Amino acid sequence: MKSRASVPNSQFDLLLVPGLGRLLQWRHARSLLQIPVLIVSVAMIVHGLFGPTLAPKNLATTLTWVHFRGALVLVLLAAGNFFCLACPFMLVRNAARRLFQPRLNWPRALRNKWISVALFALILFTYELFDLWASPLWTAVLIVAYFLAVLVVDGFFKHASFCKFVCPIGQFNFIASTVSPLEIKVRRQSVCNVCATKDCIRGRREAASPFVVTQRGCELALFQPHKVGNMDCTFCLDCIHACPHDNVGILSRVPASELMTDPRRSGIGFFSRRKDIGALALVFTFGALVNAFGMVSPVYALEAWIGTRLNVHSEAPVLAVIFGFFLLVEPVVLLGVAAWITRTWAGSKRAIVPLALRYSYGLVPIGFGVWLAHYGFHFLTGLFTFIPVTQSALARIDWPILGEPNWSLTGLPRNLAQPVELGFLLLGLAGSLLVTYHLAEGDVHERPYRAFTPWAAVCLILFASAVWLMLQPMEMRGTFMNMGG
């Protein structure tokens, strides 16, 4: 029987909450959460392939582009990466691994985020190019492709290679969860110091047969005693189940605190040396702006102007120019100028590229604020739209147990949702200013305000851009609501 390790009085531990903590510590807790999500995913695929072609009447588009994205960012803000915990793709993968065991290790040259960063940007691009929010068929195909990609990658490669190195949704969750208030970590470091088995990463094994694993450890190579923050943590709870001393909890922490320091992190190394994670932070931040920009009225005038200048009639090259500006030109210019000012005016000893890399993590909170404002707006204004869609889907299979579809159900009025948008943006701005000031203090001890000023200006530029975007008429994609002011 495991002995319970005490928790520092200053920290809240989700596992000590009566009822909920006991449920999460149950060995099959993850499967319990994954099964209903898998059932909903299958329903979305079937309805997307064979249901109505009108997006607002289809489960695939409504649940994916209105409800899933909004719920995802709100859960990340309130708690942490619990959507990876409930990931249905891993349930299917684990079932497949009972039949086929992977034999290969992920190639050393690809043990980074570059593939997933490229896929993240590609999904944002294809979302706009193919109007995925308006296509139940292609949304269903995307979900099926995701399942197949998981099975192929993790069918050949050991551990959680897809989660750590490929999955763009996972990378979004990882970088967003750096500002979450909860973290899976050890309760008492002293307990780990005397632990001889290291089960949290090796897994628990049978005493009579040490090659037989009864509970796997962390598949993402995060050794709990040296783990810092939420990067790469899927909240799978394997380390919690594997620890023989009950010394791993889901503890509270200051949101974004892991962005302010640069210790060596298990499975990750130093943030300041990870250009791939820095690129992920920038695509996450500036991708939030380009994703929102694609839904406001001025984008059409810009696309027409670019098309005329390039003398092209296809949307792909026009979108490529817009994405190139938002994801390459704008970050390079803003961060390059800010890094140059920090080096010349504040006297930082770092070179331009390391400076830009280190401070790029300070932009994550404002980027998350933009995602929250954007996805939260659609989630709140379309909060109840899943009800008539579900009613309609059941009626189509002659099982109208929920009655006739009530298509008048929508969500909050836009005039109530917009103040929430602004609140999310202000929260993100405050977080970025706080993080960048801490980074400035660590970079230039004597004159931190000089190092802080150019990066505060970058944060304010992003904030002002986001506010302007949110005040534009925005398409109510995936719903029957028209555009509004």
Q: Distance between CA 320 and CA 129 in Å, rounded?
A: 10
pLDDT tens-digit map of 423-434: 999 999 999 999
Kindly indicate the confidence band of residue 472, based on its pLDDT and cuts at 50, 70 and 90. confident
Instruction: Convert the pLDDT of each residue in 171-214 to its tens digit.
Output: 999 999 999 999 999 999 999 999 988 999 999 887 666 667 78
Q: How far, in Å, CA of 374 to CA of 414, rounded?
A: 12
Domain chopping of the chain, boundaries: 14-259, 274-470
Instruction: Tell me the chain's radius of gyration from C-alpha atoms.
Output: 23
pLDDT value of position 398 = 87
To the nearest whole number, what is the mean pLDDT of the chain?
A: 93
Quote the tokens at residue 147: 């399942």
Average pLDDT over residues 92-102: 93
Give me the pLDDT at residue 8, please.
Answer: 61
Which segment of 39-48, 63-72, 296-305 scores lowest on mean pLDDT?
Answer: 296-305
In contact, 24 and 79? CB cutoff 8 Å: no
| CA separation, residue 444 to residues 292, 354, 423, 440, 451 (Å) | 35, 14, 31, 6, 7
Residue 129 phi, psi dihedral angles, 5° rounding: -65, -45
- Per-position DSSP letters for 320-363, written without gaps between them: HHHHHIIIIIHHHHHHHHHHHHHHHTS---S-HHHHHHHHHGGG
pLDDT in tens, 368-407: 999 999 999 999 999 999 999 999 999 988 888 888 999 9
| DSSP track, 9-42 | TTS-BGGGSTTHHHHHHSTTHHHHHHHHHHHHHH
Q: What is the pTM of this model?
A: 0.94
CB atoms within 10 A of CB 262: 16
- Of the candidates 479, 468, 299, 466, which has an alpha carbon nearest to the alpha carbon of residue 379? 479
Q: What is residue 268's DSSP assignment?
A: T
- Whether the pLDDT of residue 306 is over 70: the answer is yes
Say yes or no to pLDDT of 481 above 60.
no
